Amino acid sequence: MIPRYTLPEMGRLWTDEYRFETWRRVEGACMRAWSELGKIPPEAVDEVEKKTRINVSRIEELEAVVRHDMIAFVTSLGEQVGEASRHIHYGLTSSDVLDTALGLQLKEAGEMLLADVDDFTTTLGEAAKKYRDTPMIGRTHGIHAEPVTFGLKLALWFEEMQRARKRLEDAIDEVSFGKISGATGTYAQVPPVVEEMVCRELGLHPAPVSSQILGRDRHAAFLTQLAMVGSLLEKYATEFRHLQRTEVGEVEEPFRSGQKGSSAMPHKRNPIVTERISGLARLLRGNASTAMENVALWHERDISHSSVERVIIPDSAILTDYMLKRFTIVIRDMRVYPDRMRENLDMTGGLVFSQKVLLALVGAGMRREEAYSAVQEAAMEAWETKQSFRELIGKDERVASRMDPEELEQCFKLEEQLTHVDTVFKRLELM
């Protein structure tokens, strides 16, 4: 991923230096397992552990000649020790190291992402409680529907991210596997006990069965859940972008001192972060789709997945980290305009209470079809003439014959529309 969207902690996991160091951890764990089984002398394990260091430039030099990154890596380690070099990579095939190390990287990246999700969800919860009783218009099809509160909108996002966390936890567990089973998964040159010992040391699950590689459905599931997180973030970003439109003006991204919105128009304050998140979510979905293409490989393996994973796995982890952290800042520091929310809610002269009037008329004994007709006629006239719906419906003889003015007025009480919002917050333990 380009530096623009790479934050340091997550980016470090996907550097060449860290990747090779993770390979070295796997090689070391394998040597210690063999040593416990009496196949490798303990002093050889100690020598390799103490003397070998990762030299990325040397590995690249060797790979330019041998055209095989694992051989270049093993050769580089071997150059740094003496007789002990013959014990490095003993009984292994490249993917024993590659896939087990990738499991370590994905587990570590996943744990970082869970922390990101937790921070974002906590921030959403705090904002939801703050704006629990801040009324605004709810919109369906982009059209004014019935009142909600801004806190209720945020509470929905809070609960969605809780579900996303559970799915992500499962996906992390699904990729936290190692395999030390040899060239075709038969343990012909390395017994299953080595795999068990290595995985136990590294904190991974041993694969119940594998070919030369771990099944790529595991990795596809992981990237799919990152794409799901991205899709939720895009949902929230899209909402922000609408609410920040000049004609709406209810919520706004943070706009820092010294920030500029346009090279041409000094007045501009654009929703650049949420627009960026909307765009990056498309990359995550594309990467997840590509990961699914990696599942179908020839026989016990081919390497058509390998080149792809070098791009899509680091990029997806880095992007998800970036998107979550940036959106956390947006929610924490957003500008909310309750007065504008109320102004927009009231702009249709009470149209948003049409269902309340309808049900009150039905409750007063009017046939539903007749009640609907009366309310709709007044509503359409209010839409087209910009008159007050409250006044128009009160003048309808069909309504006046069923309800006195005080009963009708009760239909337009905003607080009565929102009496059950607290129930949602109690369910979510956000009180």
- Residue 371 burial (CB count, 10 A): 22
d(CA 240, CA 43): 61
| Residue 222 scores a pLDDT above 80 | yes
Q: What are phi and psi of 134, to 5 degrees?
A: -95, 105
Q: State how far the Cα of 53 lies from the Cα of 30, in Å rounded to an integer.
A: 17
pLDDT digit string, tens, across residues 355-375: 999 999 999 999 999 999 999
Asked which of 54-63, 107-116, 227-236, 393-402 is least confident by mean pLDDT, the reply is 393-402
Q: Domain spanning 92-342 has what CATH number? A: 1.20.200.10
Span 88-111, average pLDDT: 98
pLDDT value of position 350: 94
| Residue keyed to tokens 């006046």 | 400
Decide: 302 and 294 in contact? Cβ < 8 Å: no
Both structure tokens of 119: 């921070």
The pLDDT tens digits for 52-80 are 999 999 999 999 999 999 999 999 999 99
pLDDT at 15: 97
User: What six digits make up the tokens of 205?
Assistant: 């699950």
The enclosing H or E element of 18 equals: helix 16-36
Mean pLDDT of the chain: 96
Look at the chain and count its residues: 431
Amino acid at 114: L
Mean pLDDT of 221-248: 97
Averaged pLDDT for residues 8-36: 98
For residue 147, what are the contacts with CB-CB under 8 A and spacing of at least 6?
A: 135, 136, 137, 138, 345, 352, 414, 417, 418
CB contact burial 134-152 (16+ within 10 A = b; e otherwise):
bbbbbbeeeebebbbbbbb
CA 31/CA 14 separation, integer angstroms:
25
Write the pLDDT tens digit of every residue in 254-270: 988 888 877 888 888 89
The C-alpha atoms of residue 374 and residue 396 are separated, in whole angstroms, by: 8
Is 1.10.1470.10 the CATH number for 351-411?
A: no
| CA atoms of 1 and 27, how far apart (whole Å) | 28
| Per-residue confidence (pLDDT) for residue 256, from 0 to 100 | 83
Q: Measure Cα distances from 86 to 31, 63, 77, 79 in Å.
A: 11, 19, 11, 11
Q: Is the pLDDT assigned to residue 12 strictly greater than 90?
A: yes
Q: Which fold has domain 11-90?
A: Fumarase C; Chain B, domain 1 (1.10.275)
Residue 139's alpha-carbon distances to 213, 253, 259, 358, in angstroms, are: 49, 20, 31, 19
What b/e readout covers 88-116, taking b as 16+ CB neighbours within 10 angstroms?
bbbbbbbbbbbbbbbbbbbbbbbebbeeb
Give the pLDDT confidence score for residue 292 in this predicted structure.
97
Q: What is the pLDDT of residue 173?
A: 98
| Residues labelled as active-site residues | 141, 262
* CA 19/CA 110 separation, integer angstroms: 16
What integer pLDDT is reported at residue 266 of this predicted model?
Answer: 84
Domain ranges for the chain: 11-90, 92-342, 351-411
The helix or strand, by DSSP H or E, that contains position 206, with its residue range, turns out to be strand 205-206
Which amino acid belongs to residue 270?
N
pTM assigned to the model: 0.94
**What mean pLDDT do residues 284-305 have?**
96
Which of 211-215, 259-263, 339-343, 412-416 has the weakest average pLDDT? 259-263
What's the mean pLDDT in 129-136? 97
Q: Which amino acid is at 265?
A: M
Please answer whether residues 170 and 377 qualify as being in contact, where contact means their C-beta atoms are separated by less than 8 angstroms.
no
